[in-house]
Amino acid sequence: TPLERIRNFSIIAHIDHGKSTLADRLIQMCGGLTEREMREQVLDSMDLERERGITIKAQTVRLEYAAPDGQTYQINLMDTPGHVDFSYEVSRSLKACEGALLVVDASQGVEAQTLANVYQALDNDLEIIPVLNKIDLPAAEPERVRAQIEDVIGLEAHDALEISAKTGLGVSDVLDAIIHRLPPPEGDDQAPLKALLVDSWYDTYLGVVVLLRVFDGRIKKGQRIRFMSNGAVYTVDRVGIFRPGKQTVDELAAGEIGFLTASIKEVAETNVGDTITDDKRPCDKPLTGYKESQPVVFCGLFPVDSSQFEQLREAVGRLRLNDASFQFEMENSAALGFGFRCGFLGLLHLEIIRERIEREFGIELITTAPSVVYHLYMTNGEMRELHNPADMPDPVHVDHVEEPWIEATILVPDDYLGAVLKLCEDRRGRQKTLTYAGNRAMVVYELPLNEVVFDFYDRLKSVTRGYASFDYNWIGYETGELVKMSILVNEEPVDALAMIVHRSRAELRGRAMCEKLKELIPRHMFKIPVQAAIGGRVIARETIAAMRKDVTAKCYGGDVTRKRKLLEKQKAGKKKMRQFGKVEIPQDAFIAALKMD
């Protein structure tokens, strides 16, 4: 296809504003889908993704649009990952396009996630078409949202389209706008191959599948290609496109988006953002903006049933096959036995992996406190990264500690602003700006990431009844007064509960942890002290009283089935318990203890 008849775009939208519905509608209008296929939204394919309404892998579909001008256009629609944890992946998907549809729910308005993605699109010089969706709803206020797009984003919105992705109203205007308002790609198909590696995943039949955008040159079967970041060379087995099912094509040329396979064994060999070139006739320099993906949140995953360790090893290995940003290494905890220390792009990423291990592999897990990566500057001048609070060296050898900070943007209706400000202040936040657009406030805070990883999203949602939206980006490392807090149960330190805290917050956190554990650990036949300590100094303490009677005592003389039921219930509960010295701690205590009220 000549470049003038190609359009590459993605859809930017806050969750639930209608991205998938619009994508399906566009696919249907271009004749790419049967009724049966329409029943399921095609672009969000993985179960978990569908359940949570988010997309993790960038996906793309090629449409053929017979325009009213008599020409047939090749339209490549790229669906981008929908969550802050994957913002680098989003930026690479956007780089593969010339334009974007900014879909805003006309009954809701602009949200923080939308903002972040629009700024990324503008950074990549994308042409943006604002689209007001859900105008079929009685609550839709297109005029107000139009003004909001202009005020908050600073984007011209008088020619925003008004549509209903659900009923199909106005959707043909979207296709028309894609053709007339978005620029075609530029590139030279005679120049040496230069393509962007947008995403990759593992396919049981094909091995690693690489999603790519060709900028210059051509790529076809049999060609020797090179990944410029690591120098790896492969022979292309196949190139193809998604419509949305995979379809093999002869070649992909400058301006086009599609996939390749090349007998690549592991996703880890393919780096998102990398430049793919021809091995014999390489381009002179790679595309700009390549960045290695770095995990930012770490935690330990241990099987509740320690005999499942081998199964867990297999599970993490399998998940890693498909997710190069997920890292793990074996860990041995005094309290929890063998498990894995794992690195994630963010909290949601952690949750997804944890849920998949439990669901798909049937392994119940104990998850230890999520931790960020601290930089320890040692007295001997060395810098060490700390991924696990349990590895904190003796403080006399540490000169100072640095922790990562983020800049958070929160959009919230006025009524809840007070609660949001309090939450941010409680988490050591520094307010940068506070502005209003209509009856919504936009507040920007700098926050230490370690105050965000535990339960910030949950708290934010609960204090704003779900009305706030949140997004963040990195600002870097800063020195902080950080110390390791140990938790002792029955005088024994439980390494899995150790955490790094800011000195000013240590007592509060320590007290909260002890109180929580007191609620969560069942009574035993003896008294159990629960303590929080920094170094050798106890900063908080609670005591779990001893159990008075046998639990079944009250059933004596009563009916036997009731007694058996009680014992069975206890046994089922036991499975989720873990023995620490003489004390049994329930599995949920590990995460629950970290949540602050």
15 binds, among Mg ion, ligand GDP, none (CB under 5 to 8 A by kind): ligand GDP
Q: Is 367 in the site for ligand GDP (CB under 6 A)?
A: no
Minimum CB–partner distance for residue 20 and Mg ion (Å)? 3
Minimum CB–partner distance for residue 131 and ligand GDP (Å)? 10
Q: Say if residues 521 and 530 touch (Cβ distance below 8 Å).
A: yes
Q: Is 20 in the site for Mg ion (CB under 5 A)?
A: yes
Minimum CB–partner distance for residue 246 and ligand GDP (Å)? 22
Distance of CA 392 to the CA centre of its chain: 27
In the set 7, 19, 226, 387, which binds ligand GDP (CB under 6 A)?
Answer: 19
Nearer to ligand GDP, 17 or 218 (CB): 17
The token pair that represents 273 in the structure block: 């953002």
21 binds, among Mg ion, ligand GDP, none (CB under 5 to 8 A by kind): ligand GDP
464 is in an annotated binding site: no
Q: Say if residues 216 and 15 touch (Cβ distance below 8 Å).
A: no
In the set 31, 40, 47, 53, which binds ligand GDP (CB under 6 A)?
Answer: 53
What is the rounded CA–CA span in Å between residue 10 and residue 436? Answer: 29
Nearer to Mg ion, 18 or 448 (CB): 18
Query: Interface with Mg ion by CB under 5 A: which range of 20-28, 32-40, 158-166, 560-568?
Result: 20-28
Q: Is 21 in the site for ligand GDP (CB under 6 A)?
A: yes
17 binds, among Mg ion, ligand GDP, none (CB under 5 to 8 A by kind): ligand GDP
Subset of residues 133 to 192 that bind ligand GDP, contact rule: CB under 6 A:
133-134, 136-137, 164-166
The token pair that represents 478 in the structure block: 């800063």
Q: Say if residues 175 and 74 touch (Cβ distance below 8 Å).
A: no
Give residue for tokens 């659900």: 166
Minimum CB–partner distance for residue 44 and ligand GDP (Å)? 7
Minimum CB–partner distance for residue 56 and ligand GDP (Å)? 13
432 is in an annotated binding site: no
Nearer to Mg ion, 19 or 516 (CB): 19
135 is in an annotated binding site: yes
CA distances from 248 to 173, 239, 243, 254 (A): 31, 6, 11, 17
Q: What are the residues whose beta carbons fall under 8 Å from the beta carbon of 99, sequence distance 6 or more? A: 7, 8, 9, 126, 127, 128, 129, 178, 181, 182, 183
576-579 CB contacts, 8 Å cutoff, 24+ apart: 576/304, 576/364, 578/304, 578/335, 578/336, 578/366
What is the rounded CA–CA span in Å between residue 586 and residue 589? Answer: 6
Query: How many other CB atoms sit within 10 Å of the CB of residue 169?
Result: 13
Give the largest CA-CA distance in the chain: 91
Known binding-site residue numbers for GTP: 16-21, 133-136
Binding-site ranges for Mg ion (CB under 5 A): 19-20, 44
Binding-site ranges for ligand GDP (CB under 6 A): 13, 15-21, 53, 133-134, 136-137, 164-166
